[in-house]
């Protein structure tokens, strides 16, 4: 796979992981937000970590769209799920969250699954038949 495509997939993983962690960091410092208190949501949108998270997730979305332009969804989504491993590590060491043995086991399963997906083709090859060409009819001509 060309370097540009690998860099795009890496961008999806890193932008998504760091964006989610930035959002979580910002929201942990805010009071609980729900649909009945939309004013609190507007205040949350001004928090620097939330703003950073939104910007990183915009980067995620743009690189994700780019990845989908050259590879199948069934390749891109599992390949970028390596971000779950990064998020678990960032959650543990940056956000100081407890990550249970069962969660680490889940992360290991994701890693194994990504290995299976990475072994297959990135893009489904469709064999299209050429439409049969017909001779154009001349306007005003008659066939006998």
Residue 139 lies in a domain: no
pLDDT of 134 strictly over 70 = no
Residue 142 lies in a domain: no
Q: Are the CB atoms for 101 and 126 separated by under 8 Å? A: no
Residue 68 lies in a domain: yes
Residue 32 lies in a domain: yes
The mean of the pLDDT values for the chain is 84
pLDDT of 62 strictly over 70 = yes
Q: Which of 50-59, 90-99, 108-117 has the highest mean pLDDT?
A: 50-59
For the chain, how many structural domains are there in total? 1
Contacts made by residues 70-76, CB under 8 angstroms, sequence distance 24+:
70/5, 70/8, 70/122, 70/123, 71/5, 71/122, 71/123, 72/122, 72/123, 72/124, 74/117, 75/117, 75/120, 75/121, 75/122, 75/123, 76/9, 76/12
Total-model pTM: 0.75
Range of the domain at 114: 3-118
Comparing 97 with 110, the larger pLDDT belongs to 97
CB-CB neighbours of 51 under 10 Å: 15
């Amino acid at each position: 796979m060309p370097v540009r495509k690998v860099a795009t997939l890496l961008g999806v993983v890193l932008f998504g992981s760091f964006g989610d962690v930035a959002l979580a960091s910002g929201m942990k410092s805010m009071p609980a937000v729900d649909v009945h208190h939309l004013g609190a949501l507007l205040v949350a949108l001004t928090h620097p970590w939330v703003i950073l998270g939104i910007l990183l997730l915009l980067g995620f979305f743009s690189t994700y769209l780019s990845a989908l332009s050259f590879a199948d969804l069934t390749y891109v989504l599992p390949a970028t799920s390596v971000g779950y491993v990064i998020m678990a590590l960032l959650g543990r060491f940056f956000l100081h969250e407890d990550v249970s043995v069962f969660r680490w086991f889940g992360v290991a399963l994701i890693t194994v699954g990504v290995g299976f997906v990475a072994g297959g083709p990135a893009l489904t090859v469709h064999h299209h038949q050429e439409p049969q060409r017909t001779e154009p009819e001349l306007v005003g001509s008659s066939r006998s």
